[in-house]
Amino acid sequence: MDTWTIAEINNLTIQGELKNGALIAKTEGRIDGGNAREFQSALENLMTDDVTALLLDFEGLAYISSAGLRVILLVSRQMERMNAKFGVCSLSSSINEVFQISGFDRIIPTHAAQADALSVFGR
């Protein structure tokens, strides 16, 4: 399967991959106040009409701050407006804890692994 680099931002790399028509964005590094804005524009560029499902794979993500959570929420709302599917998957235990404590695991569709997300997406 082809992968390509979506963005290389300060402390963060985003790789793209298409699986069964869903766009998977694999993030590696950290998302914080220092790069949240760039992270946001990278994702906004992805959200075109032909993307009907977007999955953020956080397997390689070491840290996310509240500024990063805010971007994910904005993307989630945008995808909802576009009637497209959205979710995050493969959270490390520390990222998972951030999602649990903040309650984001209840407002952002969160999946254990890529396969779980894709089956929920119906792909």
Partner 1 sequence: MPLKPMPSPYLADNLFAPNRDKNMVKERPHKILVVDDEPDLEPLVLQRMRRKIRSGVYNFVFAQNGVEALERLREDDGIDMVLSDINMPRMDGLTLLEQIPKVDPELRAVIVSAYGDMDNIRTAMNRGAFDFVTKPIDFEDLEITIERTLKNIAEWRDALASRDRLVAIQNELNVARDMQQSILPTRFPEGSGYQIFGSMEAARDVGGDFFDAIRLDNDRIGLTIADVSGKGVPAALFMMSSRTLMKGAAIGSVSPSEALREVNELLSQDNDAAMFVTILYAEYDPTNGNLTYANGGHNPPLVVHSDGSSELLPLTGGIALGLVPGLEFEQETFTLAPGDTVVLYTDGVTEAMNADEEEFGNVRLHEIFASSPPIDSKEANDAVFRAVHDFAGNAPQSDDITCLTLCRSEFED
Where do contacts with partner 1 occur on this chain (CB under 8 A)? 32-34, 62-63, 65-67, 69-70, 73-74, 77, 94, 98, 100-104, 106-107
Which residues, other chains included, contact 28 with Cβ-Cβ below 8 Å and sequence gap of 6+?
Answer: 12, 13, 14, 15, 60, 61
Q: Which phi and psi angles does 102 have, rounded to 5°?
A: -75, -15
Q: Which is nearer to partner 1, 73 or 113 (CB)?
A: 73
Q: Which is nearer to partner 1, 74 or 115 (CB)?
A: 74
Closest approach of partner 1 to the CB of residue 33, in Å: 3
Q: Which phi and psi angles does 93 have, rounded to 5°?
A: -65, -35
Distance of CA 31 to the CA centre of its chain: 11
Closest approach of partner 1 to the CB of residue 101, in Å: 6
Closest approach of partner 1 to the CB of residue 54, in Å: 17
Residue with tokens 């760039």: 38
Q: Which is nearer to partner 1, 102 or 123 (CB)?
A: 102
Closest approach of partner 1 to the CB of residue 81, in Å: 12
Q: Which is nearer to partner 1, 16 or 63 (CB)?
A: 63
Closest to 17 in 3D by CA, of 2, 28, 7: 2
